[in-house]
Amino acid sequence: MNINTINPLRVPLLNTTILLSSGFTVTSSHHCLLLKKKTKASVTLIFTIILGIYFTFLQTIEYIDSTFTIADSIYGAVFLLLLDFMEFM
């Protein structure tokens, strides 16, 4: 069907790393709040927000660069569905 797949070792791997990192920073922020370290909690929460913005930016680039849409085939539908699901986890 002439579907050019996306190399999983480039942007998708970077996005996975960013998601895991943001999970770590938000957990660290929560832990700091429990220990009443509000300054460190604020810094790690801001870092989490920056990672979220960066993830969304890379996700937008991935959508623009993809040669398929959700209506093209089951591959496009499943790929875009999983990307949207990961973004809201």
Considering all CA atoms of the chain, what is the largest pairwise distance in Å, rounded to the nearest integer? Answer: 56
pTM score, whole prediction: 0.71
Residues in the chain: 89
| Euclidean distance between CA atoms 70 and 29, whole angstroms | 36
Is residue 15 in a domain?
Answer: yes
Q: What domain range includes position 31?
A: 11-87
Q: Residue 64, Cβ neighbours under 10 Å: how many?
A: 7
Is residue 4 in a domain?
Answer: no
Contact 87, 19 (CB under 8 A): no
Contact 18, 59 (CB under 8 A): no
Number of domains comprising the chain: 1
Q: Which two tokens stand for residue 27?
A: 């957990």
Is residue 19 in a domain?
Answer: yes
pLDDT in tens, 10-62: 788 888 899 999 999 999 999 999 999 999 999 999 999 999 999 989 888 88
